[in-house]
Amino acid sequence: MHYAYNYTWKHNFTISSARELGFDQPLKEKMAFASLKTGATYRVVSIGKAKENDRDNDQMPEDVVQTFSGRQLTEETLSALREQCKWEENHREFLILTSE
């Protein structure tokens, strides 16, 4: 799936990441987003250009987002978000929850 904004995703205390993350709008510090697959939430701590060892390879996005875990969504909230987004397993996994 193609996104307008792509990031190398460093979660918790990751030194070098092989995981990518994408959204149709840019992430900003203090934003929160959730996995519509698992109900896990994440808080954006910082965004910046990749430094040496941030990404596993040079083909990964140059923008790096650092996140920490938030609280788990309740089953009711997760179901409501899935319904609101008309989400299916093969669709994008993440949804921005807050703008700050």
Domain ranges of the chain: 5-98
DSSP conformation class of 54: S
Asked whether the predicted pLDDT for residue 91 surpasses 80, the reply is no
DSSP H/E element including 46: strand 41-49
pLDDT for residue 23: 94
pLDDT for residue 88: 81
Asked whether the predicted pLDDT for residue 100 surpasses 80, the reply is no
Pairing of strands 94-98, 32-35: antiparallel
- What does the mean pLDDT of the chain come to? 91
Confidence of residue 20 (pLDDT cuts 50, 70, 90): very high
pLDDT for residue 87: 86
Pairing of strands 5-11, 63-69: parallel
pLDDT tens by residue, 37-86:
999 999 999 999 998 889 998 899 999 999 999 999 999 999 999 999 88
Burial class (CB in 10 A: 0-12, 13-18, 19+), 81: middle
pLDDT for residue 28: 96
Q: Model-level pTM?
A: 0.89
pLDDT for residue 1: 61
Considering only the C-alpha atoms of the chain, give the largest distance between any 2 of them, rounded to a whole number of Å: 42
